[in-house]
Amino acid sequence: MILVELMFAIMVAAVALIAIPLLLLMAGVASVVLLWVFAPTAVLVALVLWLVFPHTMGVAVLLFVLLGLVILGRRRQVPMNHWY
């Protein structure tokens, strides 16, 4: 019985050692793709706001925060299941 448990532990460790690097690699690729898609837009907007309002960088930061809140607020709300 101890041998079976030892073999199971070795299999779990092998799966973890194979799966964790793959998951980290996938997360890294996804973050690079998202950064590649969204970063140029954010940099362009920041540049335009800095050129239009050179002495009010606080306004640009406030607009970015408000835009983020609007985007988060527009997400589709999932209805809750109620117990009846």
Give pLDDT, residue 34.
Answer: 81
Alpha carbons 9 and 17: distance in angstroms, whole number: 12
**Domain ranges within the chain, ordered by starting residue:** 2-73
Residue whose structure tokens are 């590649």: 36
pLDDT digits (tens, 9 = 90+) for 29-77: 888 888 777 777 777 777 777 777 777 777 767 777 888 777 777 766 6
pTM of the predicted model, to two decimals?
A: 0.42
Give pLDDT, residue 78.
Answer: 62
Give pLDDT, residue 48.
Answer: 79
Q: Could you give the 3-state DSSP secondary structure of residue 63? A: helix
Q: What is the 3-state secondary structure (H, E, C) of 11-34?
A: HHHHHHHHHHHHHHHHHHHHHHHH
Give pLDDT, residue 79.
Answer: 65
